[in-house]
Amino acid sequence: MKKVVDVSLPIGPIHPCFKEPCRIKCETSGERVLTTEVELGYVKKGIEKIMIGRPWQETIFLAERVCGICSVVHNTVIVEALEEISGITVSRRAKILRIILNELDRIQSHLLANYSYCYTIEHETLAMYLLNLRETAMDSIEMMTGTRVMSAYIVPGGVREDLSDENAAKILEATYTLETELKRYVKMFETGPMIALRSKGIGVLSAEDALASGVVGPTARANGLPRDAREADPLYHELGWHMILRTESDNFARIMLRFQELFQSVNIIRNGLAALEPGKIRNGGEMKAGRVKHTVEAPRGDLTYDIEIDSAGQVVFVSIQTPSIPNIEVASHAMMKNLASVADVTSTFISADPCIACAER
Amino acid sequence: MNFIYEKNLEPMKLNTLNGVRQNEVASLLAKRLGISRQMMRKILIAKCDQMTLENLGPRYDAAELIAADDEIGAALSLPHLTTATGILSNESAAHYREMAEEKHAFISDIIKAILEEIS
């Protein structure tokens, strides 16, 4: 007769399923995973400390380097926080250009997250399709900003460069490619029997755990929690944003919710391009001293910068609260707890879209 | 036996607690329990894993919401010790709540007993 033994199983810090280094310590009883503990600290950057004492101009570039995947949103939050401190206004055209860029960023981030999940559950074909489609979004970002990542496109008072009609037409065309291809891939995911076996009812997050952990972004919305910072922005409502929620709370729900949000982002970009009117892309202003706490909806959830600038324009205090922190924590303590199989640990972890670079800011 | 990755995480946990929000929460918890911030940090480092410490801020906020509707829980800081940090088990929390509800001991004595348990 086979014996069931208790094993402490370390996964990582370097593992083929992880995009970034982290370590998951699993306590198992046979195949069942009893508890897990996530250890970070392999890529700690200390960007908050580096920012202190530097002029605000430098912090814009530093903020982008917190995360390579969602660098646009870090750029957006810090610039909007600086604008709030100094009372700098932004023209409607620049605001819409910011939204278009942020939604393109959300598309590439969600596609990367879903690619990682499909790769983790060994559906490499769908994973590669999604990664290939991500290039369409990355090309659009490059067309708009000049680079794929860390573009510093958003600057106080507006944006760095205008969008030409020619490039706007190309981005519009890209949205149709994205939509057409996505429909095919979502159908593959939604109806795949093996995908359902690996995803439905796996990594369920209870409502109590979701509330207690302060989980945000798609991970919260897949639990039926209406948490999205875009709700407070009237321009987003004007461009067709609405809260997307699911209630299954499992791996399948989290991935499907991201797919649903991709269609919404495509729609917002189209509406944004249609709403673009000729106008200034950058207003002037003077940086003032003050402190502000500003939140923007990043692809993974609420991203908050608490920043203070002195009269000389230097950063005296900054605290960055990234969405990956509560999401990784809840994945570790609730979603991966009592899993039926060790094979589900990596897929459940990836379904929360953990960004180690963000958490190790 | 030497393990490759089994390292002492205390310095890393202390770094995490030096974060702005984490430091603030450690001070608030210390104030609630009537102990020094250093003592509170020591307890947190000993009882919590890295991710719980990273996520102290949102968890503390969730505990405050629970405590707002729970007079005894708030007086004994039970949501803060269970929901926010997990340093007290739900069974122990229920036991201390019962002691307070049935007036077996003063609140200050119960907090002392809680401190003894978590230290």
CATH label of the domain that carries residue A20: 3.30.390
Question: Which range of residues forms the domain containing residue A192?
Answer: 89-284
**pLDDT greater than 90 at residue A129:** yes
Do A135 and A243 lie in a common domain?
yes
A303-307: list long-range contacts, CB under 8 Å, 24+ apart.
A303/A70, A303/A73, A303/A74, A303/A77, A304/A77, A305/A63, A305/A77, A305/A78, A305/A81, A306/B20, A307/A59, A307/A78, A307/A81, A307/A82, A307/A85
- In this prediction, residue A268 has a pLDDT band, given cuts at 50, 70 and 90, of very high
Q: Is the pLDDT of residue B58 over 80?
A: yes
Report the distance separating Cα B84 and Cα A187, nearest Å.
40
CB atoms under 10 Å from CB of A86, counted, come to: 19
Residue A114, in any domain of the structure: yes
A residues 41..60 contacting B (CB < 8 A): 41, 44, 48
Shared domain for A253 and A274, answered yes or no, is yes
Q: Could you tell me if residue A358 is inside a domain?
A: no
- Answer whether residue A163 is part of any domain: yes
Q: Which residues of A touch B15 (CB under 8 A)?
A: 44
What is the average per-residue pLDDT within A171-188?
A: 93
A340 & A277 share domain? no
The amino acid present at A143, given as its one-letter code, is M
Q: Which residues of B touch A319 (CB under 8 A)?
A: 19-21
Measured between beta carbons, which residues in chain A are less than 8 angstroms from residue B57?
214, 321
Instruction: Please determine, for residue A135, whether its predicted confidence score (pLDDT) is greater than 90.
Output: yes
* Tens-digit pLDDT profile for residues B82-110: 888 888 888 888 888 888 787 777 878 88
Look up the CATH number of the domain holding residue A178.
1.10.645.10
Query: Residue A293 — φ and ψ, nearest 5°?
Result: -120, 115
Nearest CA in chain B to A331: B51
What residue type is A258 in one-letter code?
A: R
B51:A317 CB<8 A: no
CA dihedral A153, A158, A161, A166 (to 10 degrees): 110
**Cβ neighbour number for residue A13 with a 10 Å cutoff:** 19
- Give the closest residue to A272 by CA, choosing from A203, A175, A178: A175
| Domain edge (last residue) among A284, A314, A336 | A284
Looking at residue B1, what is its pLDDT? 64
The neighbour count for residue B5, using CB atoms within 10 Å, is 11
Choose the closest CB to A39 out of B9, B21, B57. B9
With a cut of 80, say whether residue B6 has pLDDT above it.
no
Q: What is the pLDDT of residue A206?
A: 86
Same domain, yes or no, for A335 and A312?
no
- pLDDT tens profile A304-331: 998 999 988 899 988 888 999 889 988 8
Residue A264 and residue A248 share a domain: yes
CA gyration radius for chain B? 15
Taking the domains of chain B in order of start, what are their residue ranges?
9-118
Q: Find the CB nearest B51 among A10, A211, A329.
A: A329
pLDDT at B108: 81
CA neighbor of A44 nearest in space, from A21, A18, A28: A21
Beta-carbon separation of A321 and B9 below 8 A: no
A227, A110: one domain: yes
Angle between helices B20-33 and B37-47 (to 10 degrees): 110
Residue A217, SS3 per DSSP: helix
What pLDDT does residue A335 have? Answer: 86
pLDDT (0 to 100) of residue A94: 92
How far apart (Å, rounded) are the C-alpha atoms in residues A176 and A181?
9
Say whether both A93 and A232 belong to one domain: yes
Point out the least confidently predicted range of A87-96, A299-308, B13-22, B36-45: B13-22
Q: Which of residues 27-86 of B touch A (CB under 8 A)?
A: 49-52, 54-55, 57-59, 61-63, 83, 86
pLDDT at A1 over 70: no
Chain A residue nearest residue B53, CA to CA: A329
B56-59: Cβ within 8 A, 24+ apart = B56/B21, B56/B22, B56/B25, B56/B26, B56/B84, B56/B85, B57/A214, B57/A321, B57/B21, B57/B22, B57/B24, B57/B25, B58/A213, B58/A214, B58/A325, B58/A326, B59/A212, B59/A213, B59/A214, B59/A329, B59/B83, B59/B84, B59/B85
Q: What is the rounded CA–CA span in Å between residue B80 and residue B87?
A: 9
Q: A312 in helix, strand or coil? A: coil
Q: Which of A38, A40, A319 sits opposite B21 (nearest CB)?
A: A319
> Do B62 and A213 count as a contact with CB atoms less than 8 A apart?
yes
Handedness of CA B16, A344, B4, B85 (dihedral sign): positive
Residues A275 and A294 in one domain: no
Within this chain, do residues A268 and A346 fall inside the same structural domain, yes or no? no
Residue B47 pLDDT greater than 80, yes or no: yes
Which of A10, A41, A213 is nearest residue B58 as measured by Cβ atoms? A213
Residue A186 falls inside a structural domain: yes
pLDDT at residue B49, rounded to an integer: 86
Shared-domain flag, residues A191 and A216: yes
Query: Are A32 and A109 within one domain?
Result: no
Query: What pLDDT digit, counting tens, does each position of A31-79 carry?
Result: 888 888 888 878 888 888 889 899 988 999 999 998 888 889 999 999 9
Residues 6+ apart with CB under 8 A from A315: A51, A52, A53, A54, A55, A56, A59, A307, A308, A309
A259 located within any domain:
yes
| Tally of CB atoms within 10 A around A14 | 10
- Asked if residue A356 is part of any domain, the answer here is no
Residue B4 is predicted with a pLDDT of 66
CB pairs under 8 A between A and B: 62
- Residue B21 at interface with chain A, using a CB cutoff of 8 Å: yes
* Predicted pLDDT at A179: 93
Cα–Cα distance measured from residue A355 to residue A353, given in angstroms and rounded to the nearest whole number? 6
Region A102-122: mean pLDDT is 93
| Tally of domains within chain A | 3
Across the interface, of A10, A214, A328, the residue whose CB is closest to B59 is: A214
- B5 chain-A contacts, CB cut-off 8 A: 10, 13, 23
Q: Are residues A234 and A204 in the same domain?
A: yes
Does the distance separating the beta carbons of A319 and B51 come in below 8 Å? no
Provide the 8-state DSSP code for A314: B
Domain boundary among A226, A261, A284: A284
Q: What is the mean pLDDT of chain A?
A: 89
